[in-house]
Structure 1
Amino acid sequence: MTQTVQPAPAPEEQATTFVEVDPSTLIVGANVRLDPRLDKDFVESIRERGVRVPIVAHRDGQGQLVVLYGQRRTVAAVQTGRPTVPVVVIAEPGEADRLIDQLAENHHRAGLTTHEDVMAFQQLAVLGVPAGAIAQRTARPKPVVEAALRVASSEVARKATERWDFLDLEQSAALAEFEGDDEAIRFLVQSAKNGGFAHQLQRLRDDRESKAQRAALVAQLTEAGIKVIEQPPMQDPKRAKLEYLKTGRRQVTEDNHKDCKGHAAYIHQEWVNEDGKRGYVWKAGYACTNYPKYGHTHRYPPGASFSDRRTLDDMTEEEVEAARAERRDVRESNKAWDSALKVRQAWLKQFAARKTPPKTAAVFIAKALASCDHQIRSAMEGSHKLARDLFGVEHETYQSGHRRGKLLADLCTTEGRATMVTLVMILAAYEENLPRDAWRRDEPGATEYLRYLQSEGYELSEVEQRARNGGKKP
């Protein structure tokens, strides 16, 4: 029942009291918090559970209740239509005391740690409350609740949240993915503390997927009765890839070599960019383990010269080490770039969901269009393929029954959204046409693109920093 507002008693008679009142009758007084900053989760919590911590107010000269502490709870209760809220009524403080107390209330308040969140969600689950119901009743997104429960079920992730308070829930859930891999856990914790977590996580996931794919391919070949060997070097005196072998004049192939006692397979990686998949995949190649013994000849027998390139035998020890270091750098940088691409495009997808553009949008758009970079022309000719993916709209063609570009144009419902759509189309154009070796090129378009992403809050990985710096290591 709504409490009827009574005239204010004389100051000497005023004492602390507790009342239940209609929140719309409360007056939100002066507050050090200039903006209540009501987030969705907080509002939904008030809608679902009401105001659980009483608001503190005093009565003014007309007997009206003026909120001292609980501005956000009051506004949220009004927005969600709560019929009553609990209010503790105290004597009106002096102006200096009000300011000091409001500062103290907001500053000396510690939120729950990730570990405390995890343990609370776990206790609810033990009590039989499903994840969906936990999310609804606590006004937290269901993916957040599910992540917390994954952390709770992982000993290493649960202990990590207890030990390191800088780990957030998403990072803690990622640790659970690598239970049993101490090195991966160490890398992730370091990245959570020092930066670059998303990139380190993606690299570890890619490495794990690559190892699993390789192991599956080896198992498949072994089950088929095919011996698996290391990839033969170019001029090995016994082992050789079938593509370099002949039997008489006939080219040796997988089909005509299957019955050879030296038939074997080797595992190697190939770069693919087709059917929506971009990156290295493991494939099987075939070789003979002793081609002279089994009657084959090599197109380039040991000692044959087929290139002007220097061999390792022609190099000094320092040159050999430099050549090997360069190859390692290329191999590792390419892998790092492939992982960074996934993180970058996931960030772009979130960025594209913004309703209003950043203040820097107009300048960047103007400079990009003035540059006449080929990436923008190429994306326009391809009907902005990646931009459509980021916005989740259908890919149109001349035969699709639409005027090409109509679906993207339909997103431009306001001036701000139109600017945002234009910005994303240009960013997607650069992203879609970034060369895989941009990390070792001096490419002005790629440089400006990555600098802009960084200015808008995207955390560049080391390999992306090289691309931003025109191929120079940071």
Structure 2
Amino acid sequence: MTQTIQPAPAPEEQDTAFVEVEPSTLIVGANVRLDARLDTEFVDSIRERGVRVPIVAHRNSLDQLVVLYGQRRTVAAVQTGRPTVPVVVIAEPGEADRLIDQLAENHHRAGLTTHEDVVAYQQLAALGVPAGAIAKRTARPKPVVEAALRVAGSEVARKSTERWDFLDLEQAAALAEFEGDDEAVKILVLAAQKGGFNHQVQRLRDDRESKRQRAELVEKLSAAGIRVIERPPMQDPKRAELEYLKNGRRQVTEDNHKDCKGHAAFIHHKYVHKNGQHGYVWEAQYACTNYPKYGHTHRYPPGASFSDRRKLEDMTEEEAEAARAERRDVRESNKAWDSALKVRQAWLKEFAARKTPPKSAAVFIARALASCDHQIRTAMEGSHKLTRDLFGVQHETYDSEHRRGKLLADLCTTEGRAAMVTLVMILAAYEENLPRDAWRRSDPGPVEYLRYLKSEGYELSEVEQRACNGGKKP
């Protein structure tokens, strides 16, 4: 049997009216959106500003208003206690027309672009509305508004949002950080388009901070009247680090050499690992620019053999270039790993805020505990230091007033939260005990850890992908 679908009445035949009604009197009718899916920002916006776009409804046989379009606005208005909402009342459409129109209303809508957001916030600021008030009245987080205003204040970031619609607000704000550095901006725009943005911006921040610290140290040395030179190569006939020099039997040191006319300093990039923190720092080390002339002797004079390591000058050109490339690779990969660590731990902190674990958690936890990996044992012996940092829980000792571990245990208020805390303890155990050269190893535990993070939405950097690939470049 063929059903004939009656078309909706023509616009001129519809009895349209505009009314203000109490939202609790509205009946939410059938809707293609099966779940209103109210988010905090939307509800806060309705609470602050009310319903600005009228709800569309029709009257049923009992003269009740049945919502056709505006399900989310209606539910949010009821939740926030709005006294009235605007409603446009139209004739009841046919069932097919209702479905088609509700689909059209939800699918054929375009959100604002990042550039449009930025321009709007900029205009509000120009009208004298402070960032906090903008955030309150638009029900957007204040950091989002502040980021938009930073973008508005940066010519390169603002123009980038206008040119490339794939940039989100957070990415555009990062571009503003690198105003004036055209190469960094190009790198970030490409990463926003191709992937790996968070890792790339962290690496650029780390490199910029490293250059700043180095320049600061050079300026400090120069202000003290100390000449800054390049690090002397081993067995240079004139220049040498003080640690290799002697005056007779006495070791040459910074203190007893500072009055020497050859006194100089070089800037050394040193890797440190202390109190759970690790990374490169710049430090000054000292040298003499002409040790034979100023009466010093070298522990290893030119021609002396003190290492079995082959020198570049003893290699073929191909071997020498391969050795240089390997050293560059180690140096750059270590730096990339240090930057990735910051991105990974920031992601873990957000992940730890979840109330319930993902479905994959139980299997991962069981496999990790069964493996008895070194990382898990070490974290347990250390009272889960990183886990406490991720949850913002005080570090306890055996001298604490209560049983050690109680503060973490107190987080387990429900079964779901307990499972989540357990998962985070396992993940944090791997994280805080990952070796710095994990990128060129193939340890099963760290590999499974990184792969699990990827399965839960974390974007692996190239160096982390390398760790999952037995040290091979992706």
Instruction: Give the alignment's TM-score, normalised by structure 1.
Output: 0.97
The answer to whether residue 109 in structure 2 is matched with residue 96 in structure 1 is no
Q: Residue 5 of structure 1 corresponds to which residue in structure 2? A: none
Tell me, yes or no, if the aligned pair for 1:447 and 1:467 is still in contact at 8 Å. Answer: yes
Deviations 1:411-431 (A, max 9, x none): 000000000000000000000
Counting only pairs closer than 5 Å after superposition, residues 41-56 of structure 1 correspond to structure 2 as 41-56=41-56
- Alpha-carbon distance in structure 2 between the residues aligned to 1:88 and 1:295: 97
- Alpha-carbon distance in structure 2 between the residues aligned to 1:420 and 1:131: 35
Tell me, yes or no, if the aligned pair for 1:18 and 1:89 is still in contact at 8 Å. Answer: yes
Closer, same or farther: CA 59–421 of 1 in aligned 2, 3 Å: same
**Any gaps of 5 or more consecutive residues in structure 2?**
1-11
- Alpha-carbon distance in structure 2 between the residues aligned to 1:14 and 1:275: 74
- Alpha-carbon distance in structure 1 between the residues aligned to 2:176 and 2:193: 17
Q: Residue 159 of structure 1 corresponds to which residue in structure 2? A: 159
- Alpha-carbon distance in structure 1 between the residues aligned to 2:441 and 2:97: 62
Letter in 1 for 2:316: T
- Alpha-carbon distance in structure 2 between the residues aligned to 1:441 and 1:68: 60
Letter in 1 for 2:101: D
SS of match in other structure, 1:210: helix
- Alpha-carbon distance in structure 1 between the residues aligned to 2:148 and 2:430: 37
**Any gaps of 5 or more consecutive residues in structure 1?**
1-11
SS of match in other structure, 1:66: strand
Counting only pairs closer than 5 Å after superposition, residues 323-338 of structure 1 correspond to structure 2 as 323-338=323-338
Q: In the TM superposition, what is the alpha-carbon distance from 1:292 to its structure 2 partner?
A: 0.7
Q: Residue 247 of structure 2 corresponds to which residue in structure 1? A: 247
Q: Residue 224 of structure 1 corresponds to which residue in structure 2? A: 224
Counting only pairs closer than 5 Å after superposition, residues 193-208 of structure 1 correspond to structure 2 as 193-208=193-208
Q: Residue 115 of structure 1 corresponds to which residue in structure 2? A: 115
The answer to whether residue 406 in structure 2 is matched with residue 370 in structure 1 is no
Deviations 1:402-450 (A, max 9, x none): 2110000000000000000000000000001000000001111100000
Q: In the TM superposition, what is the alpha-carbon distance from 1:470 to its structure 2 partner?
A: 2.4
Deviations 1:368-398 (A, max 9, x none): 0000111111100000000000000000000
Which deviates more, 323-332 or 120-129?
120-129
Counting only pairs closer than 5 Å after superposition, residues 319-358 of structure 1 correspond to structure 2 as 319-358=319-358
Deviations 1:262-299 (A, max 9, x none): 00000011111224542000000000001111111111
Q: Residue 279 of structure 1 corresponds to which residue in structure 2? A: 279
The answer to whether residue 394 in structure 2 is matched with residue 389 in structure 1 is no
Q: Residue 142 of structure 1 corresponds to which residue in structure 2? A: 142
Q: Residue 188 of structure 2 corresponds to which residue in structure 1? A: 188
Q: Residue 7 of structure 2 corresponds to which residue in structure 1? A: none
- Alpha-carbon distance in structure 2 between the residues aligned to 1:14 and 1:154: 51
Segments of 4+ moved more than 2 angstroms: none
- Alpha-carbon distance in structure 2 between the residues aligned to 1:457 and 1:275: 30
- Alpha-carbon distance in structure 2 between the residues aligned to 1:134 and 1:97: 39
SS of match in other structure, 2:370: helix
Letter in 2 for 1:289: T
- Alpha-carbon distance in structure 1 between the residues aligned to 2:336 and 2:272: 16
Letter in 1 for 2:455: S
Q: In the TM superposition, what is the alpha-carbon distance from 1:13 to its structure 2 partner?
A: 8.1
Letter in 1 for 2:68: L
SS of match in other structure, 1:67: strand
Letter in 2 for 1:145: V
SS of match in other structure, 2:167: coil
Q: Residue 312 of structure 2 corresponds to which residue in structure 1? A: 312
Q: Residue 299 of structure 1 corresponds to which residue in structure 2? A: 299
Deviations 1:105-154 (A, max 9, x none): 11110111111111111111111111111111100000001111111111
Q: Residue 125 of structure 1 corresponds to which residue in structure 2? A: 125
Q: Residue 268 of structure 1 corresponds to which residue in structure 2? A: 268
Q: Residue 426 of structure 2 corresponds to which residue in structure 1? A: 426
- Alpha-carbon distance in structure 2 between the residues aligned to 1:74 and 1:425: 42
SS of match in other structure, 1:358: coil
- Alpha-carbon distance in structure 1 between the residues aligned to 2:406 and 2:308: 55
- Alpha-carbon distance in structure 1 between the residues aligned to 2:400 and 2:468: 38
Deviations 1:309-350 (A, max 9, x none): 211122111111110000000000000000000000000000
Q: Residue 4 of structure 1 corresponds to which residue in structure 2? A: none
SS of match in other structure, 1:453: helix
Letter in 1 for 2:232: P
- Alpha-carbon distance in structure 1 between the residues aligned to 2:78 and 2:322: 69
SS of match in other structure, 1:412: coil
**How large is the Cα RMSD of the aligned pairs?**
1.0
Tell me, yes or no, if the aligned pair for 1:444 and 1:470 is still in contact at 8 Å. Answer: no
Letter in 2 for 1:132: G
- Alpha-carbon distance in structure 1 between the residues aligned to 2:216 and 2:354: 41
Letter in 2 for 1:410: D
Letter in 1 for 2:100: I
- Alpha-carbon distance in structure 2 between the residues aligned to 1:64 and 1:162: 47
Closer, same or farther: CA 13–335 of 1 in aligned 2, 3 Å: closer
Letter in 2 for 1:415: E
- Alpha-carbon distance in structure 1 between the residues aligned to 2:199 and 2:14: 60
Tell me, yes or no, if the aligned pair for 1:388 and 1:395 is still in contact at 8 Å. Answer: yes
Deviations 1:228-270 (A, max 9, x none): 0000011111100000001111111101101110000000111
Tell me, yes or no, if the aligned pair for 1:41 and 1:139 is still in contact at 8 Å. Answer: yes
Identity %: 86
Instruction: Give the alignment's TM-score, normalised by structure 2.
Output: 0.97
- Alpha-carbon distance in structure 2 between the residues aligned to 1:130 and 1:51: 24
Q: Residue 414 of structure 2 corresponds to which residue in structure 1? A: 414
SS of match in other structure, 1:470: coil
Q: In the TM superposition, what is the alpha-carbon distance from 1:60 to its structure 2 partner?
A: 1.1
Q: In the TM superposition, what is the alpha-carbon distance from 1:63 to its structure 2 partner?
A: 1.1
Q: In the TM superposition, what is the alpha-carbon distance from 1:34 to its structure 2 partner?
A: 1.1
Closer, same or farther: CA 372–275 of 1 in aligned 2, 3 Å: closer
- Alpha-carbon distance in structure 1 between the residues aligned to 2:251 and 2:323: 33
SS of match in other structure, 1:472: coil
- Alpha-carbon distance in structure 1 between the residues aligned to 2:380 and 2:277: 22
Q: Residue 32 of structure 1 corresponds to which residue in structure 2? A: 32
- Alpha-carbon distance in structure 1 between the residues aligned to 2:297 and 2:175: 53
- Alpha-carbon distance in structure 2 between the residues aligned to 1:276 and 1:83: 55
- Alpha-carbon distance in structure 2 between the residues aligned to 1:440 and 1:278: 18
Aligned residues: 463
Closer, same or farther: CA 430–42 of 1 in aligned 2, 3 Å: same
Closer, same or farther: CA 30–206 of 1 in aligned 2, 3 Å: same
